[in-house]
Amino acid sequence: MEQADHSGGLLAGIGRRLVSSQQVDTGVADTPIVYSYAKAGRTIARLGLLDGDESPADGDVDRVVRSIAQSAGARATVIFEAFVRYAEQPCGKRPFCGKCDLSDLCKHYAGRPPTLKDLPEDQRPRERMAEAGPDALNDAELLAILIGSGRREVSAVDLSQRLLNQFGGLRGLSERAIAELCSVEGIGLAKATRILAGLCLARRLSSEFLKRGVSFRGSQQVFDYFHPKLRSEKQEKFLAVLLDAKNRIIRWVQISSGGLTGSAVNPRDVLRHALVESASAVIFVHNHPSGDPAPSRDDLAVTQRLVKAGEIMGIRVLDHVIIGDETYTSLADQGQMR
């Protein structure tokens, strides 16, 4: 292993910063020091003062220490003591490069992308969230808080952005199994379960917004509530939202699954739920797994049958909302409910 060719000015600068940052007592004359070659060698190697890995031979470490001492005008014991102290923190096995006084001189730091620890505190997700609230963070930053940490040379935010790109955003991520997330480098069981637990809580929270006594004020509100529930379904689901005389929500029920045909959605079965709950009106909702919310012939035919059956039974059919991928169609908005 050979010592790299570094100028005397660089060696002197490293020596002076080591001594000043570690507050080593330079006035003690040749006090015996128990050298830790492993710790000092790791830091020396990362600085690029030795070619090769981070476990140099003791003789090579000693030679570099003496070269730094000579260039800095200090004793070798003083420089060595500073190196040993410095190797504890921040230059341990998992270095905190953002807190390092030598980072601008370090080849290890120059060759790696910044991690969250390297960012100023006002740019770190947790600190920003505490200061400005969660709405100030983007999806990757919020996900990074759930993940907690990245891996070597990849910050938690970078790792989160890779997950979002690979699985198609938060929606795609929420549809994955734990094993799929664990297949991504840097994501283990702990991180995968935290991610899916957070997304599951978000879905449950959205379901609490639709409570008895609340009124839908338009088709957009119907879409906003049911889109998260239906967008990932692989089959068509047909739902009925039951309303009282003031159009306040009583509850919603699933009528059928698998396809919207006359046999799948029988007006008698649909309106039976409304009669049991003494509902005065109903809104129908179903999804198109294809993502295209344009109504089919079956959609229109079934809707007309339901409207006519509702008129006979004194139950108003206010709307039929078809949910697609990030969009929807309201038959009431299109004038199809008459």
Question: What is the CATH classification number for the domain harbouring 130?
Answer: 1.10.150
Task: Supply the pLDDT for residue 322.
Answer: 94
State how far the Cα of 251 lies from the Cα of 225, in Å rounded to an integer.
Answer: 13
Q: Does a structural domain hold residue 1? A: no
53 close to 61: Cβ distance less than 8 angstroms: no
240 and 325 both lie in a single domain: yes
Which of 170, 186, 207 delimits the end of a domain? 207
Q: Which domain holds residue 146?
A: 116-207
Look at 46-55, 179-188, 206-215, 219-228 and tell me which has the smallest mean pLDDT: 206-215
pLDDT given at position 116: 63
In which residue are the tokens 């079956």 written? 298
pLDDT at 74: 79
Q: Give me the pLDDT at residue 117, please.
A: 63
Where does residue 23 rank: exposed (0-12), middle (13-18), buried (19+ CB within 10 A)? exposed
CATH of the domain at 319: 3.40.140.10
Q: What integer is the mean pLDDT of 295-315?
A: 90
pLDDT per position as a tens digit, 250-259: 888 888 877 6
Averaged pLDDT, 272-282: 89
> CA distances (Å), 277 to each of 153, 211, 239, 273, in order?
59, 15, 15, 6
pLDDT of residue 294: 92
Confidence of residue 318 (pLDDT cuts 50, 70, 90): very high
Of the candidate ranges 65-69, 164-168, 228-232, the one whose mean pLDDT is the lowest? 228-232
pLDDT score for 32: 52
Mean pLDDT of 86-110: 70
Residues in the chain: 338
pLDDT confidence of residue 260: 56
Q: What pLDDT band is residue 262 in, cutting at 50, 70 and 90? A: very low
Q: What pLDDT sits at residue 329? A: 94
- Specify the 3-state DSSP secondary structure of 284: strand
Local confidence band at 287 (pLDDT 50, 70, 90 cut-offs): very high
Residue 45 lies in a domain: yes
The tokens describing 229, both together, are 């529930």
What is the percentage of the chain residues whose pLDDT exceeds 70? 78
> Is residue 175's pLDDT more than 90?
no
Distance between CA atoms of residues 154 and 160, nearest Å: 10
DSSP category for residue 241 = E
Question: What's the pLDDT score for residue 213?
Answer: 62
Whether residues 263 and 298 share a domain: the answer is yes
pLDDT, position 113: 55
Bridge partner residues of 254 (DSSP): 239
3-state class of 282 per DSSP?
A: strand
Instruction: Tell whether 323 is covered by a domain.
Output: yes
pLDDT at 63: 84
CA distances, 323 to each of 170, 205, 304, 331 (Å): 18, 20, 18, 11
pLDDT number for residue 2: 39
Q: Collapsing DSSP states into helix, strand and coil, what is residue 330?
A: strand
| 141 vs 155: CA distance, rounded Å | 11
120 with 45, same domain: the answer is: no
pLDDT of residue 1: 37
Structural domains in the chain (count): 3
CB 88 within 8 A of CB 39: yes
Q: Indicate if 179 and 223 belong to the same structural domain.
A: no
Contact 249, 297 (CB under 8 A): no
Residue 247, pLDDT > 80, answer yes
Boundary residue ending a domain (207, 238, 266): 207
In the predicted model, is pLDDT for residue 60 greater than 80?
Answer: yes
Residue 290 has pLDDT above 70, yes or no: yes
Does 235 lie in the same domain as 197? no
Does one domain contain both 136 and 56? no
Q: Where does the pLDDT of residue 112 fall: very low under 50, low under 70, confident under 90, or very high at 90 and above?
A: low
| Residues 180 and 248 placed together within one structural domain of the fold | no
- Tell me the chain's radius of gyration from C-alpha atoms: 33
Asked if 126 and 56 sit in the same domain, the reply is no
Among residues 154, 183, 207, the one where a domain terminates is: 207
